[in-house]
Each structure stands twice: as C-alpha cells, then as structure tokens.
Amino acid sequence: MAFKKGLFKTSVGRKNLMAATGLFIVFFLVIHLVGNLILILPDSFFPIEFWGNVANQHDMYNAYSHFLVHFWPITVVAWVLYAAILTHVIDALLITLHNNKTKGEKYQVVDNSSSSWISRNMGLLGTVIGVFIIMHMAQFWLQYKVLKVEHDLYNLVVETFKIWWMVVLYEIGIIAFGLHIIHGIESAHRSLGLYPEKAMNVIKVIALWFSLVMAVLYAIIPIILHFK
C-alpha cells in the first residue's frame, strides 16, 4: 500500500511511473508500426503460396486486424496499454500541477539536453498527441473494435487518407509524437537510472535516431496511401 501510494505521491515515484508507462507505450508503437507498414507493402510481398489465404495487402491487413481482436493475449496487452496511456496522462498532469505549485523543481532530473526546446514543451507536445489519439481512436479503434460497425479496416484506413486534411492532421500528430519521444526516451532512462551518467550521451543519440526513424515511417503511411 505504501509502495502504491509512493508511486503517485512522491516526485521520484511519479517520475518512475511516467518513465515506465512511456517506455511501454513506445514499445506498443513499434509493434503498431510494423502492423501498419503492411498498408504500404507491394502486393508482390504476399505470394498466395507462402501466406496461405492471404493474396494481397488488403487481405493481409484485415487478417492482421482480425488477429488483434480475436487473440486473447493481445486483448490483455491492449488493456495494459490503455491503463498505461491513462496513467501517463494523469501522471503528467500531477507533475505539472506540482511544478506550478513549487515553481522550482521540474520533471527532468538534469536538463543538460541539447533538445531543450523539446524538453520545455513536453506538455504542449503531449497535449497535441492527446488530441491526436482521441481523434485517431474515434476513427479506427471505436468503429472497428468497440462499435464493430466497420468490418473492413483496410478500406476504412485507406478511405480516411484519401482526405487531404486528414493526412495533414496525421502529419501534425506524428511530428508531435516524434519530438515528444526524442526527449521522452532519454528522460525515461535518466529517471529510471538504468545506466551510468556517462552512457547517457549514447542513449541520447539512440533516442534521436530511433525517434526519427519511427516518425518518418509513420509519416509516410498516410502520404503514400493518399497518392496511391
């Protein structure tokens, strides 16, 4: 009980929780990206003899989505993900409130980061991502997984990106997400104290390149689908 209370009540507990939930969300987003890259793979990648009944990108994407909904361990991971997102948001609000009250201590343990604009605007970037996720989940997750009014997820996604301003909104969300994780990954490793301070320069470079690759791969999906 004391441990549970400490997680939310002490600033170290809150930072650790923020770090752990953030890293878990990033882990989900790597898997999510791999699944969604199916949308831009050429049909020649899905030879029917090799993939069973799957003959093209359309079938493969829908088979993947069907698997996500009907394989129970994935459902469990999805609930952990929703809890992690909510915890991350609540924790961010608590930390911001606390910082506003004390006007001194900031979330970052040591901010000697070269990405100081990003670190100062993590709240703003997080808010843009929050709005993006609400829009994104209302479009796909709600229609397909919850209300079950749309059965062909491939068509739903492809039709969404035929609308140019949807592509623009996605690009804004993805840029905010890319910038947020450059600093988030570095900061999470610092908070959890996983490595000695000397190793943090390496972590910083890895976080930068990882975030760049993730953001670019996510960003090209709506653009390619729009012009296809």
By CB under 6 A, tell whether 136 contacts ligand HEM.
yes
Out of 89, 140, 150, 158, point to the residue binding ligand HEM (CB under 6 A).
140
Q: What string of DSSP letters covers 43-74?
A: GGG--HHHHTT--SHHHHHHHHHHHHHH-HHH
Nearer to ligand HEM, 22 or 222 (CB): 222
Task: Report the residue from 133, 158, 172, 223 that binds ligand HEM according to the rule CB under 6 A.
Answer: 133
Interatomic CA distance for residues 148 and 62, integer angstroms: 14
Q: If binding is defined by CB under 6 A, does position 107 make contact with ligand HEM?
A: no
Residue with tokens 């829908």: 62
Dist. CA 6–CA 1, nearest whole Å: 8
Interface stretch with ligand HEM, choices 52-60, 97-105, 133-141, 183-191 (CB under 6 A): 133-141
Q: How far is the CB of 105 from ligand HEM (least distance, A)?
A: 28
Q: Looking at 118, 153, 167, 207, which residue binds ligand HEM (CB under 6 A)? A: 153
Out of 24, 46, 107, 218, the only residue in the binding site for ligand HEM (CB under 6 A) is 218
> Which two tokens mark 216?
């670019």
Q: Residues 150, 156: contact at Cβ < 8 Å?
A: yes
Site for ligand HEM in 13-52 (CB under 6 A): 29, 32, 36
| Binding region for ligand HEM (CB under 6 A) out of 4-12, 111-119, 137-145, 203-211 | 137-145
Taking CB under 6 A as the criterion, the residue among 7, 94, 141, 152 binding ligand HEM is 141
Nearest residue to 156 via CA among 41, 39, 34, 73: 39
Name the residue among 143, 31, 133 with its Cα closest to residue 86.
Answer: 133
Instruction: Let me know if 170 is exposed, middle or buried by CB neighbors in 10 A (0-12, 13-18, 19+).
Output: buried
Residue 191 contacts by C-beta under 8 Å, 6 or more apart in sequence? 15, 16, 18, 19, 109
Cβ burial, residue 28 (10 Å; 0-12/13-18/19+): middle
Stretch that binds ligand HEM, among 96-104, 114-122, 198-206, 218-226 (CB under 6 A): 218-226
129 near ligand HEM, judged by CB under 6 A? yes
Residues 52-91 interacting with ligand HEM (rule: CB under 6 A): 65, 68, 78
Q: Of 157-176, which residues contact ligand HEM (CB under 6 A)? A: 157, 170, 174
Residues that bind ligand HEM (CB under 6 A): 29, 32, 36, 65, 68, 78, 129, 133, 136-137, 140-141, 144-145, 153, 157, 170, 174, 177, 218, 221-222
